[in-house]
Structure 1
């Protein structure tokens, strides 16, 4: 086919020269990703972060295309060129199953975006599946096995999912660009120059180690400064409580939900199919929320208007040993006149920026390997003191969220434990600071 190009703010041009890839992009299942935000509620804090899963998946494909082309040109003795199309296809489709506000929705309605991705790939009713079958009868299953991390070729699996993979490379650069932050920037050109296949997976030449080191630090900074931002998490809490209220109301207000939000009913009744899932996107959900503002239930109405109009909850950090004390705060929320079931929440955000391979861990990680000139492999943190300082260390915090109105109640915290109250002065309770936005 004649090469097609997509103009992209991160990669300049995204090149498509295989008919399968171009046709997959034009399926209804892939086009749906235009209507799913990449960053969910983060756009309520960083207003530029309105980009979609569609543009991210194209970017992931483009990085995979560049890598597989390099492997074919320079590592034909160790890279099977027959795996290139599979790698590019899995890269393009890796987020296909993300739903509306996916992570919050997943927790409430017991869905899993990776499993939904595989269902779309394997279902005989999808345009995606019909195209994949044109390659070979087992091609859909091969793509699904890469997504599930069970495909036998570790090179392919690690390119799609590892501590430094095509997915992470794109979302760090893309999210950094659109949020207007610089934390996620790293030298992609250098990393693509030093990446190489090994019999065990992928590695990076020692000459490019500092570019890989910079990538790890960029990832850490993006999580701490952008993905874990308290205001974004506040909106996630609001969304979670809003959907929780709707889910509880449904059995007694079925007619209301049939009129205002019919596509959610299969999820309320735990009887949804793939077509139901594909019928939801961020725009559909937001229109439902707007219709709920005028509904008869005061709690649902109020939570909906808070979410639509970005009336964020405030928060206080706490440590694990203080969690029992939060009951006092819940009582304070109730004393002010709010139902703590819907107007408070605990939210944890923790991340392990880098770790060595631990085969006995429940969630095994593929460590980043550096290839020396003699061909030997050394784990990254053994060579980088900076990465070693991050290795095995968990970063993040736990927060208790509550209505902002509580701050206007004179003396509302006056009888609370003073040691616990000392955390109030660390961020959002300081008026006019960076977290206000």
Structure 2
């Protein structure tokens, strides 16, 4: 009996130990490959070293900040969208700079979190995701026959994906609209991104690190052109034209930047769409057009998938990015920024001389621009400066949910939202209504164009510019005229909607009168256009 009992105790202990170890693994599966956490900045990622059997390095400040930090090993970052991100040593060097870390303070979707509370993800993790997808695309393209993409070219594409959003201002694209309304100049974040890319290398003394991985001055120009999506001529490089369609596709807008933000945004907005990047990878090809130019193309069996991506992007704009409450809050934010007086300036030392910049001029100085983050909202909110008092009132209204009232919502059929004449007509309507009712009126247009390139006005139907190839290696484009738009484009996205907001609640009589006036103006606009 004693022998049987001792054996029973032995096996029972073994079983309990096994159950306990399994329980630990289920509770924290990441710890099976991650020994330590290495924290970078205000938030943390799980970082590990591929040469140390997935064991992270030291957390000591001296090691993390040392100029002699070795970037010779691959880093892995845990991401909720893509899983483990493989980060090249040079990309890691770029990430660990002030210029890139600033992206942690820029929300990916501007003011959308006031409508969708969980949409607080930032351009930092989005940029990591784009770089990750760039690597996946390159690896897949290398499987194409006769495809020769060098390791240096691959690294350049990853860096372009990583740095493509460096030039964004606060509040996402609202900042671009603010600068244009204030100065009349069109602010393009891509151009600022390439300026900051050069600045980042110079200020952080990364030139030697870039040289170590074979990236010279011409390769850096190549990276900047990849960010712009514009092929150019080079003295010694012969980059493939299709590489310029990976990060920023100016042909049809089907690039990894948009794939990444559709995947990430839908996750944090809680809107169920399925971009299915894995499906995209299975059918991606390199094809030649009639002029022997190489492009990113797709197997014919991906036709419906590609169409679905355009539909999903339209859905995200309709339900999220251009939600009418988001438009209302954005209108209030733009009004708040426009009320910031000229004496709210930043002082920057340039060549032993101190220069001052108004808020709408900060982008003209890179040191000033790096201080522009979403924190500007709190700066206005808690400021005691007289120059910010009017802006502060509107910011408080946003937080207190005392939004502008919606006076009108209507449809403008067959009109282009980017039409300058139309925009001028709407400004006149705003002016007349504001003078009549002693309140601020604002007309906002909402059109969910399918055009995905940065040149939306020129690319009205991007589907016409998507290349496909069938089993017989015949290259073709979809005949858009043979497709029934109702089958793939929701009815509500094929028109321009007009919203009219008012800064105060009008009495019912005045409200009805204002609506009648707007309806008359809309009829006149429709006739004139």
TM (norm. structure 1) is: 0.80
Alpha carbons 1:29, 1:126 under 8 Å: kept: no
Please, what is the CA RMSD of the aligned residues? 3.5
Moved more, 153-162 or 228-237: 153-162
Correspondent of 2:286 among 191, 194, 197: 197
Alpha carbons 1:39, 1:49 under 8 Å: kept: yes
Alpha carbons 1:96, 1:117 under 8 Å: kept: yes
User: What is the Cα deviation at residue 410 of structure 1?
Assistant: 3.4
- The equivalent of 1:9 in structure 2 is 80
User: What is the Cα deviation at residue 327 of structure 1?
Assistant: 5.9
Aligned length: 402
- The equivalent of 1:160 in structure 2 is 247
Greater relative contact order structure (CA < 8 Å, 6+ sep): 1
- The equivalent of 1:280 in structure 2 is 372
Separation in structure 2 between the aligned mates of residue 11 and residue 355 of structure 1, nearest angstrom: 23
User: What is the Cα deviation at residue 11 of structure 1?
Assistant: 1.0
For residues 67 and 213 of structure 1, do their structure 2 counterparts lie closer, same or farther at Cα, with a shift above 3 Å needed? same
Separation in structure 2 between the aligned mates of residue 331 and residue 97 of structure 1, nearest angstrom: 37
Separation in structure 2 between the aligned mates of residue 328 and residue 303 of structure 1, nearest angstrom: 23
- The equivalent of 1:148 in structure 2 is 228
5 Å-filtered alignment, 1:287-302, equals 287-292=378-383, 295=386, 299-302=390-393
Residue 126 (str. 1) matches residue 196 (str. 2): no
Separation in structure 1 between the aligned mates of residue 95 and residue 469 of structure 2, nearest angstrom: 36
Separation in structure 2 between the aligned mates of residue 128 and residue 398 of structure 1, nearest angstrom: 50
Separation in structure 2 between the aligned mates of residue 361 and residue 336 of structure 1, nearest angstrom: 39
5 Å-filtered alignment, 1:104-119, equals 104-109=174-179, 110=185, 111-119=187-195
For residues 416 and 29 of structure 1, do their structure 2 counterparts lie closer, same or farther at Cα, with a shift above 3 Å needed? closer
String of CA shifts for 1:340-379, please: whole Å, max 9, x gaps: 2xxx2222232421589x9x94889582112111112222
User: What is the Cα deviation at residue 418 of structure 1?
Assistant: 4.1
Separation in structure 1 between the aligned mates of residue 84 and residue 268 of structure 2, nearest angstrom: 17
User: What is the Cα deviation at residue 8 of structure 1?
Assistant: 1.3
Alpha carbons 1:295, 1:301 under 8 Å: kept: no
- The equivalent of 1:69 in structure 2 is 139
- The equivalent of 2:306 in structure 1 is 212
Moved more, 127-136 or 47-56: 127-136
- The equivalent of 1:428 in structure 2 is none
For residues 14 and 298 of structure 1, do their structure 2 counterparts lie closer, same or farther at Cα, with a shift above 3 Å needed? closer
String of CA shifts for 1:400-425, please: whole Å, max 9, x gaps: 2213523xx232223346485699xx
5 Å-filtered alignment, 1:24-35, equals 24-35=94-105
TM (norm. structure 2) is: 0.67
- The equivalent of 2:500 in structure 1 is 400
User: What is the Cα deviation at residue 169 of structure 1?
Assistant: 0.3
String of CA shifts for 1:260-298, please: whole Å, max 9, x gaps: x77996134847411110111112x02221134774776
Separation in structure 2 between the aligned mates of residue 50 and residue 149 of structure 1, nearest angstrom: 28
Separation in structure 2 between the aligned mates of residue 119 and residue 367 of structure 1, nearest angstrom: 30
For residues 363 and 208 of structure 1, do their structure 2 counterparts lie closer, same or farther at Cα, with a shift above 3 Å needed? closer
5 Å-filtered alignment, 1:408-423, equals 409-416=507-514, 418=516, 420=518
- The equivalent of 1:41 in structure 2 is 111
Separation in structure 2 between the aligned mates of residue 241 and residue 228 of structure 1, nearest angstrom: 18
Separation in structure 2 between the aligned mates of residue 278 and residue 420 of structure 1, nearest angstrom: 42
Separation in structure 1 between the aligned mates of residue 137 and residue 205 of structure 2, nearest angstrom: 24
Correspondent of 1:176 among 266, 274, 278: 266
Separation in structure 2 between the aligned mates of residue 78 and residue 166 of structure 1, nearest angstrom: 20
Separation in structure 2 between the aligned mates of residue 21 and residue 296 of structure 1, nearest angstrom: 41
Residue 20 (str. 1) matches residue 85 (str. 2): no
User: What is the Cα deviation at residue 332 of structure 1?
Assistant: 5.5
For residues 325 and 266 of structure 1, do their structure 2 counterparts lie closer, same or farther at Cα, with a shift above 3 Å needed? closer
Alpha carbons 1:44, 1:310 under 8 Å: kept: no
User: SS of the counterpart of 1:412?
Assistant: helix
User: SS of the counterpart of 1:7?
Assistant: strand
Separation in structure 1 between the aligned mates of residue 155 and residue 145 of structure 2, nearest angstrom: 15
Q: Point out where structure 1 has 5 or more consecutive residues left out of the alignment.
A: 424-437
Correspondent of 1:267 among 358, 364, 374: 358
Correspondent of 2:404 among 313, 320, 343: 313
- The equivalent of 1:353 in structure 2 is 450
